[in-house]
Structure 1
C-alpha cells in the first residue's frame, strides 16, 4: 500500500471510530470517505454541494463571492433545480457573471442593510477561495446564520494557515506575493480570468478545536471541518514537489491540523 493510500485508510478509520451522530454533517462526510489530499477537495467541491442539496432538500442557493466565475451558469442551475443567486461585494465582478443569473451585491461581513440582502432567504450558501479575503470572518459566519433559512447549510472552501506555502503568502508584502503568484500562474495577472486579491486569512485554519467555538458563537451547533493537505503550487518544480508531497502525506497521516493546506467548513442552522 502506498503512503498516500495508507494515510487515507488511517484517516477513514479514525473518522469511523468517532461514530458521528446519524444525520449529522460529520456522518455525511464519513459516508463520502474523502481523500486526505486537496486534489479531492477541488475535484469534489461541486459534487459535494449537489449531494448535500439532494440529501437535505436544499433549493435556494447563494454563492458567496461568485462574481465572474460562479459555480453554475443559468442552464446549469436550472438543470440541478436551484433557485441560484450569485453574490459579490464588487459590482465589476458581478457585471462579469454569466448572463441570465440573478445577482446580489452585499458584503458578507457587512451590516446586512443592503437592499439585496434576504435574511432567512437561502437554503444553502457556498464559497470557494473567498474567506481568506474576508477581514472579519467571525462576523461573516454570524451573517450567514442570519441569511440561512432554518435547517440551511453553508460550506466554505478556503486555504489554511499555517501551511508553509500560505504562511509565506501571508507574511510577504502584497506586491511581492502578487508577483510570485503571477509568475507561477500567468492567467492570474490583472485583467485575466482569475485575478489575485489581498488575503487576510482571518480564521482560516484547519483545526476543529479552534474553529468550533467561533462557529458556536455564530449560532451553529452542527459543524464539520474536513481537513486537507497538499497543493499544486510546486507542480512545475519536480524535486520540491516530491519533498512537499512527502511532508504533507506525513502531516495527513499524523492528523497535523497546524499545516493543513485547505479545509471545507460546513455548518447547518438549527431547524424551526
Structure 2
C-alpha cells in the first residue's frame, strides 16, 4: 500500500539512549513517531527491534504471523531473536517460511493447546490481527499470561471510527470484500493477502477508552500511539485530497475518535 508523506521523521537508531527507559511512554516520547500511518507501516519492525533492545528482550512471538511473518529465519538469527510464529489456522502455519518455529493456538482461546507457553515470551506482537478477533479483552488477558515478567505486547491495529474502517465495519462482508478487491486487484482469494472478516472489538486509538480494559487484563504500563491517514484512496485523486486534509486536521487537533491506526503497547510488571 502506497502512502506518501512529506514530513517523515526517521526512527532513532537501535541502541539509542531513551530517557526513562523503564516507561513505555518515555520510550515513545524519545522515539518521536510521526502522525501519519506511513510511519507506522515503515517503522513497525524497527520499533519492535528498538523495544527489544531497549528493554533487553529476546523471545519473540508473532501472533497471526502465518504465511507472512515479520522476520525470516536469517533475520531472526542476525538480530539475536528467539522467534516463534503463531497462528490459529494450521493452513496458514503450513505456509510459514522454512526455518521458523511455529505455535498453533487461539490468542483469545482458553490457552489449553499443547503449544501454549505461559510466561514463555519476552514480547508478543501482531499486525492487522486484532480487528479479526471476537474477544480482544480476553486476548490481552492471555497475552498477560503468556508474557514473562517485564515482557511487552504490541498490537498494530486499524481503528474505529476512521471513516474507511467504519464503512468496512457496517457493510456486509461480501460488499466490503468486493470493495477491497476493486481497490487492490492483486489482493484475491487464494492470493498472498486474503481478506478475513473484521469485528474491530476494542480497536480504538484512544487511551481513555482502552486503558480500563487493558488494566483489567493485568497491565499498568500502557502506551497508545495514534496514527492518521491511509492509502485506500491513492487511485482517486479528488477523494484522496479531501481525506488527506481531514486526517491532517484530525492529527493536529488530536482527534482520537477518528484515528486510522494505532500501536497498542503494554508491559507486564516484573
TM-score (norm 2): 0.93
Match of 2:16 in 1: none
Match of 1:127 in 2: 126
Cα deviation, residue 73, structure 1: 1.2
Cα deviation, residue 23, structure 1: 2.5
Equivalent residues of 2:202, 2:210 under 8 A apart:
yes
Equivalent residues of 2:21, 2:55 under 8 A apart:
no
- C-alpha deviations, 1:118-166, integer Å up to 9, x for none? 0000000000000000000000000000000000001000100000000
Cα deviation, residue 22, structure 1: 5.7
How many angstroms apart in 2 are the aligned matches of 1:168 and 1:128? 20
Match of 1:172 in 2: 171
Change (3 A) 1:100 1:237: same
Equivalent residues of 1:160, 1:262 under 8 A apart:
yes
Cα deviation, residue 187, structure 1: 2.2
Match of 1:258 in 2: 257
Match of 1:147 in 2: 146
Which runs of 5 or more structure 2 residues have no equivalent in the other structure?
10-18
Aligned residues: 256
- C-alpha deviations, 1:95-120, integer Å up to 9, x for none? 00101110000000000000000000
Which runs of 5 or more structure 1 residues have no equivalent in the other structure?
9-19
How many angstroms apart in 2 are the aligned matches of 1:190 and 1:182? 9
Match of 2:79 in 1: 80
Cα deviation, residue 188, structure 1: 1.7
How many angstroms apart in 2 are the aligned matches of 1:115 and 1:23? 33
How many angstroms apart in 2 are the aligned matches of 1:77 and 1:125? 15
How many angstroms apart in 2 are the aligned matches of 1:32 and 1:76? 23
Match of 2:180 in 1: 181
Structure number with higher helix proportion: 1
How many angstroms apart in 2 are the aligned matches of 1:4 and 1:226? 20
- C-alpha deviations, 1:35-81, integer Å up to 9, x for none? 00000000000000000011111100000000000001111111110
TM-score (norm 1): 0.92
Equivalent residues of 1:208, 1:225 under 8 A apart:
yes
Equivalent residues of 1:4, 1:249 under 8 A apart:
no
Match of 2:155 in 1: 156
How many angstroms apart in 1 are the aligned matches of 2:186 and 2:138? 32
Match of 1:236 in 2: 235
How many angstroms apart in 1 are the aligned matches of 2:186 and 2:146? 34
Equivalent residues of 1:154, 1:268 under 8 A apart:
yes
Confirm or deny that 1:31 pairs with 2:30.
yes
- C-alpha deviations, 1:192-230, integer Å up to 9, x for none? 100000000000001110000000000000000000000
Match of 2:113 in 1: 114
Cα deviation, residue 4, structure 1: 7.6
After TM superposition, where is structure 1 displaced by more than 4 Å over at least 4 residues in a row? none
Confirm or deny that 1:211 pairs with 2:210.
yes
Match of 1:48 in 2: 47
How many angstroms apart in 1 are the aligned matches of 2:218 and 2:235? 43
Match of 1:66 in 2: 65
